[in-house]
């Protein structure tokens, strides 16, 4: 398997997370000092604490995604290790964060690191359980599961527009998407979901099965790869 990765972006965002976290501690420290030592400046203390908390969330968001190993891209690399060389995995070099292109077709891989039970019912995704740590992280910087259907729809449209600049309409294959949960503590109950949802350890077998269905021709795949490689 060929891996194409924007190392420059990863390093930059990791630094942003690190510096923002340090700055947040400083701002929170100033807020605490003012609240204890200068109660006449209470408004400034409140502003500092709110700003520091916001910066903490931003810092943890960047650190979780780009600064803490294994990162989502590293987890996908490990999960798909062993796929043949005609499969390419793009990280942060296309309009979507993680894109798989190969005999299985064109797949947007949307990663989630949350623990707990993931369910899909009545056209809604829900995340429940996960214990105290899940509740703690939901307050301090961890994203919820949100609306994967909306997120995926936006990413599919972005990728289609990007490919349309370089390929004819008939050359653009169907773009599919899968939700990949990298936390082993995740429990998935989403058989009726409009898109596959699976654990990272299941991903390679899933891709191999899709490749057997031959959803994309070799020439069409090569045209897509040429378009993506031109900006990688």
Closest CA to 70 of 109, 113, 15: 113
The pLDDT of residue 130: 53
Alpha carbon 146 to its chain's center? 12
What's the CA angle centered on 76, arms 73 and 80, to 5 degrees? 140
Residue-averaged pLDDT of the chain: 89
**Tens-place pLDDT, residues 131-178:** 544 444 444 444 567 789 899 999 999 999 999 999 998 899 999 999
Task: Characterize the bridge pairing of strands 88-91 and 116-121.
Answer: unpaired
The token pair at 22 is 């340090």
Strand order in the sheet with 186-189: 124-128, 116-121, 186-189
For the chain, give every domain's residue range: 2-67, 72-229
pLDDT band at 60; cut points 50, 70, 90:
confident
204 against 62, higher pLDDT: 204
**Helical ranges in the chain per DSSP H:** 7-37, 42-62, 72-80, 131-139, 148-164, 200-212, 218-229
Q: Structure pTM?
A: 0.84
Q: Phi then psi for 102, rounded to 5 degrees?
A: 180, -165
pLDDT number for residue 126: 87
**Is the model more confident about 214 or about 10?**
10
* Residue 230 scores a pLDDT above 80: no
**Lowest-confidence range among 63-72, 79-88, 108-117, 175-184?**
63-72
Give dist(CA 133, CA 60) in Å, integer. 15
Residue 198 in tokens? 């699976």
């Amino acid at each position: 398997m060929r891996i194409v990765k924007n190392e420059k972006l990863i390093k930059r965002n990791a630094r942003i997370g690190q510096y923002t976290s340090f700055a947040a501690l400083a701002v929170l420290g100033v807020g605490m000092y003012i609240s204890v030592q200068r109660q006449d400046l209470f408004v400034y203390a409140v502003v500092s604490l709110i700003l520091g908390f916001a910066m903490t969330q931003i810092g943890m968001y960047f650190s979780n995604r780009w600064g803490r190993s294994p990162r989502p891209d590293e987890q996908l690399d490990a999960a798909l290790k062993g796929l043949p060389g005609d499969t390419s995995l793009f990280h942060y070099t296309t309009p979507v964060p993680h894109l798989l292109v190969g005999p299985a077709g064109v797949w947007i891989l949307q990663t989630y690191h949350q623990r707990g039970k993931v369910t899909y019912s009545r056209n809604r995704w829900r995340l429940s359980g996960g214990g105290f740590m899940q509740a703690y992280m939901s307050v301090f910087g961890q994203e919820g599961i949100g609306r994967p259907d909306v997120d995926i729809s936006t990413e599919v449209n972005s990728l289609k527009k990007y490919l349309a600049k370089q390929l004819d309409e008939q050359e653009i294959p169907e773009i599919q998407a899968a939700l990949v949960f990298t936390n082993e503590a995740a429990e998935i109950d989403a058989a009726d979901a409009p898109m596959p949802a699976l654990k990272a350890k299941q991903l390679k077998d899933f891709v191999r099965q899709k490749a057997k269905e031959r959803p994309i021709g070799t020439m069409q795949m090569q045209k897509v790869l040429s378009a993506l490689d031109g900006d990688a």
